[in-house]
Amino acid sequence: MNYYNTKSGILPGADYKRVYKNAWRVFSRIKKQTKRKPYIRSAYFDKEKVFFDYFWQHLMQKPPKERMRRLRFFKAAIELIHNIRTKPNTILIRSQKNIRLHRFTGQTKSGEIFFVQIKEHIVKKSKQFMSVFPEK
C-alpha cells in the first residue's frame, strides 16, 4: 500500500477534552493565517486551498469516543494534506455526479495508519477536508 509517512504523531491526551484542546490549538494556528475561512494548501492539488467547512460538523455527529479517536490524528492529517503528492483512491459518487471523494493514506511517526478524506466539488472547483480516521 502506498502511504505518506508523517513526521508528527498522534495528539496527546487521555480524555476527549485534552485531545480536543490540543486539536483546537493546531486548528487555531491555521485560522490565524487567514482573515476569512481557514484553509490549508495541498501539494497534490497544485497548492489549491482545502477548506475545513465540513470537518467540524461531520466530527460533531460522531459519539465522543469516536471523536477522540479521530481527533488524535488531526495534526498528522494536516501535515499529510499539506505535503502529499501521491495519487489517492478516488471515488465518483453516482447520485451526485459533480462530486469526487479522495481518500489519502498516511502513517504517523509511531507507525499507526490513518486515512484522510477530501471532498471535491468539480463544478465549483472547491475542496473540503471531510474526515480523518484510523485504520482499525
Residue 1's pLDDT band, with cuts at 50, 70 and 90, is low
- Of all residues in the chain, the percent with pLDDT exceeding 70 is 99
Query: How far is it, in rounded angstroms, from Cα 125 to Cα 18?
Result: 36
Residue 97's pLDDT band, with cuts at 50, 70 and 90, is confident
Structure confidence by residue, pLDDT tens digits, 52-62: 999 999 999 99
Structure confidence by residue, pLDDT tens digits, 11-31: 998 899 999 999 999 999 999
Query: How far is it, in rounded angstroms, from Cα 116 to Cα 131?
Result: 6
